[in-house]
Structure formats: structure tokens, C-alpha cells
Amino acid sequence: MDDALALSALVLALSGRLVQEIHDGVSRQGFGDLRPAHGFAFVRISMGDATTADLAEHLGVTKQAAAQLVEELVRKGYVERRPHPRDARARLLALTETGWAATRAADQAARAAVAPWRDLLGEARFSELVADLTLLAPPGPIRPAW
Amino acid sequence: MDDALALSALVLALSGRLVQEIHDGVSRQGFGDLRPAHGFAFVRISMGDATTADLAEHLGVTKQAAAQLVEELVRKGYVERRPHPRDARARLLALTETGWAATRAADQAARAAVAPWRDLLGEARFSELVADLTLLAPPGPIRPAW
DNA sequence: CTATATGGACAAGGAACTTGTCTAATGGGG
DNA sequence: CCCCATTAGACAAGTTCCTTGTCCATATAG
């Protein structure tokens, strides 16, 4: 009956370790100046058509906080600001080649972190796990901390 | 093949929403002055025999940061410092009755957040999910952010 | 054309963490 | 029994990241 309480603890524990391992993997691949929160910004920016205000809503922070984060990512060479085709106020955000490289590094680290799970569970249970979590997945943006 | 990448995103998304829902539930039950990070401190303190240094290691922060967090929780009435029976330097941390009440509120919020998952998956798949995640669960402390 | 809303910049403040230093107590090895 | 390296915790200062508040330029509805 208290599966429910245990399950919430398991998800939190698993997520915490996953964040840590992805961050470590990204750092080891030469992107030591990125923190977990940056990854969530990359997710939104790589989707395209993102302004700073869009990013703020995606991350669940104020637009000033998003603007500071963008400024940092631009300064470090991961993101560039391009003019918006239909709105002279706005700037479209885009990943630079370095930004895409960091994204690939994060993806690789995420795959490496999850790979042992496939071995532990076996192929069948692993696929079921993916299917189950897909059912439970929230519709909204991916907010929290990696 | 890219189940692995999808799975890591799913775990992060699920964890993020879980943290948010637990925090909201705890706030609604009258503990609006607690933040997600406090919950992880409560986990360690409720296990007993915790000093500030123990707490720091559990949370993965410096002992100064842990000391500030303890000071805040003491000031708000959730935690008390008791003399250590065998070490005059150290102080044992313990939850007050208010601290236990907050812990119960968090447990209830966690159960409420997970309850819909049981309905979505059905009893059999839900039990399998708990079993699978138990296999994958890291041995160490529950670190991250709720 | 005017009124309101929106994207973004600028500035100041606050919350939570860090590093650095200090004192007092502990506990192992001579 | 006594050093002395180690450890628990307090105190102080600095950094980082986020907030609130304000402003301007542009967009859009009526």
C-alpha cells in the first residue's frame, strides 16, 4: 500500500543521480562551464523559434533571470541572438556549433547513464518501463534541474 | 534505440512535476515557509543520530551551508538541537512535533501525487514499475531538489 | 491614432550557497 | 599522560543566481 510513497522517493533518487551523472559526463567532455540548469535552456532553444520570454516561461523563471542566463550563454559561445523576422523588439535565440556540440555531449552522457538500466532490467522490462513512464509523462515543459 | 535518451528525459520530467506537486501540497497544508530542499534535510534528520556535519554530507553541501539551513529550521520551529551524549562539541538534531507534522504532510502530498499513476497504469504495471525502479535505485542518500 | 500589451534592457536587492578562518573538544600514538 | 592531527561547529565575507521594480521601443487592438 505504501508503494506510492516509496515510488515517489525512488523517482526523486533516480532523477538526482541522473542529473549528477549527466552533469559529470558533460563536464568531462570539455564543457565544464555548463551547469544542469543550462541543459533545460538548450532543450527549448534547440526546438527553434525561442525568444528570451519564451525561454523564461519554459524554465519557470522571470524573464530577467532568463535574460541573464542567455547573456551568460552568449558570452560563453553557446548561443547567438538573431534578429526576429517579424518583430523588431524581439531576438530569436539559436545554438552555435559549440552549443550543438554541448547538446550532443549531454545526450551521450544521458545515454551512458541509462545504459546500465537496460542490463539490470532486461530488454522486455526496459521497454515496458519506457512505455509506462511515457504514459505518466507530464504534457508541459521539462522544468527542473538536471 | 533511442529509448535511452527518451527515458532520461521522462525521468527528469516526472521528477520535476513530482517535486512541484509535493511542494504545493505541503504549502497548502500550512507549511508555506518550507522549500523543496528542506524535505531532504527532514529525511536525514528523521532517521536519527544526525549532526550538522552528517546533514551536510547527506545533502552534498558544505557544513556551513548545512548549518545555515539548520539555523533556519530551528528558528521556524521544525528542528531542535539536543546535546550529544558522547561528544561535547556536537549537537544532535531532532524534529519537533511541528517537524513531524510537516513530514506527514509531505508524505501525504507525495502519495496524492503518485495516486493517479496507479490508475493510469493499472495495478499490475504499477507494481512492476515499483519493482523495476527499486532495482535501479542508487544506494546513496537522496540528494537532489524537491 | 490612441491605448494597452509585450520584448527586452538596466539597476538594485535578497536568498542560498561558497571559501576562509577560528575555537573547543576529541582521540590515537608516543 | 600528553601532544597533536582531526573534527564539530560558529563567525565573517564574498559569489552566484534569482527576484522586484522601472524604463524604453515596438507591436497590436479598437
Could you say which DSSP state residue A12 is in? H
Q: From CA A27, how far away is CA A106, in angstroms rounded?
A: 9
Minimal Cα–Cα distance from B42 to chain A, Å?
13
Q: Does B121 touch chain A (CB under 8 A)?
A: yes
* B1, A111 Cβ separation under 8 angstroms: no
Q: Does B111 touch chain A (CB under 8 A)?
A: yes
Q: From CA B83, how far away is CA A21, in angstroms rounded?
A: 38
Q: Does A37 touch chain B (CB under 8 A)?
A: no
Q: Does B142 touch chain A (CB under 8 A)?
A: yes
DSSP per-residue letters across B16-54:
HHHHHHHHHHHHHTT-TT--HHHHHHHHHHHTS-B-HHH
**SS3 of residue B130 by DSSP:** helix
Task: Name the grid cell of A114.
Answer: 541509462
Of all nucleotides, the one whose C1′ comes closest to residue A92's CA is C7
A74 touches strand C (CB under 7 A): no
Q: Which residues of A26-36 are buried (b: 16+ CB within 10 A; e: fewer)?
A: beeeebeebeb
Beta strand A91-95 pairing with A79-83: antiparallel
pLDDT digit string (tens) for A81-125?
Answer: 999 999 999 999 999 999 999 999 999 999 999 999 999 999 999
**SS3 of residue A69 by DSSP:** helix
Task: Name the grid cell of B87.
Answer: 561528544
Residues of B in contact with A14 (CB under 8 A): 11, 15, 133, 136-138
The residue with cell 496524492 is: B112
pLDDT at residue A141 above 80?
no
CA atoms within 13 A on the CB side of A28: 9
Q: Does A66 touch chain B (CB under 8 A)?
A: no
Domain chopping of chain A, boundaries: 9-136
Would you state the pLDDT for residue A137? 81
Residues of A in contact with B35 (CB under 8 A): none
* A143, A55 Cβ separation under 8 angstroms: no
What's the whole-number mean pLDDT along residues A11-29?
A: 92
CATH number (2.60.40.10, 3.40.630.30, 1.10.645.10, 1.10.10.10) of B3-136 reads 1.10.10.10
Closest Cβ opposite residue A142 in set B16, B110, B140: B16
Would you state the pLDDT for residue A3? 83
* B133, A10 Cβ separation under 8 angstroms: yes
State which nucleotides on strand C lie below 7 Å from a protein beta carbon. 6-12, 16-20, 24-27
pLDDT digit string (tens) for A116-131?
Answer: 999 999 999 999 999 9
- DSSP-based helix, strand, coil % in chain A, nearest 5: 65, 10, 25
Would you state the pLDDT for residue A145? 46
B85 touches strand C (CB under 7 A): no
Q: Mark residue B60 as left, alpha or beta (left: phi above 0; alpha: psi -120 to 50; beta: remaining).
A: left
Strand C-contacting residues in A 91-110, CB cut-off 7 angstroms = 91
* 146 residues of chain B, pLDDT tens digit each: 688 888 999 999 999 899 999 999 999 999 999 999 999 999 999 998 999 999 999 999 999 999 999 999 999 999 999 999 999 999 999 999 999 999 999 999 999 999 999 999 999 999 999 999 999 987 666 655 44
* A46, A15 Cβ separation under 8 angstroms: no
Q: At the topology level of CATH, where does A9-136 sit? A: Arc Repressor Mutant, subunit A (1.10.10)
Residues of B in contact with A111 (CB under 8 A): 2, 4-5, 8
Of all nucleotides, the one whose C1′ comes closest to residue B84's CA is D8
Residues of A in contact with B15 (CB under 8 A): 11-12, 14-16, 144
Residues of A in contact with B115 (CB under 8 A): 4
The residue with cell 528542506 is: B38
Task: Name the grid cell of A79.
Answer: 548561443
Q: What residues pair up with B30 in beta bridges, in sequence order?
A: none
The residue with cell 544542469 is: A36
Q: From CA A111, how far away is CA B59, in angstroms rounded?
A: 26
Q: Residue B35's CB: how many other CB atoms inside 10 A? A: 14
Closest Cβ opposite residue B12 in set A2, A117, A142: A142
B130 to each of A10, B66, B109, B146, how far by Cα in Å?
8, 32, 18, 20
